[in-house]
Amino acid sequence: MNRVALRWGYLYLLLLLLVSGVGLVAQRERGELHDYRARFTQLERERAELLRAYEARLSNRAVARWAEAQGMVPMSEGRWAE
């Protein structure tokens, strides 16, 4: 076997190892990306649930019920009570 063929063989082997290494790194990152997307989806669901709970607690009717439970009287009823 001549030297030129041997050199090309080594170069081919080196490039093959390099491409294999890049492929392994890409597969690992793809798995991590899948995990991140799943976590993001879970966090989005939790965020939507928390926003619904927040809006339910701070709706006008909920605040009015809380105020009445604390002894506050609506303005219209308070004015006529005098």
pLDDT higher than 60, residue 78: no
Q: How far is CA 68 from the centre of its chain?
A: 39
Inter-residue contact 73 to 81 (CB < 8 Å): yes
Distances (CA, A) of 2 to 7, 9, 14, 15: 9, 11, 19, 20
Region 47-66: mean pLDDT is: 89
Any idea where the domains of the chain sit in the sequence? 3-72
Inter-residue contact 56 to 62 (CB < 8 Å): yes
The confidence score (pLDDT) of residue 82 equals 52
pTM above 0.75, yes or no: no
Please tell me which residue, 14 or 76, carries the higher pLDDT value: 14
Please tell me which residue, 50 or 75, carries the higher pLDDT value: 50
Radius of gyration (C-alpha) of the chain in whole angstroms: 34
pLDDT digits (tens, 9 = 90+) for 2-51: 888 999 999 999 999 999 999 999 999 999 999 999 999 999 999 999 99
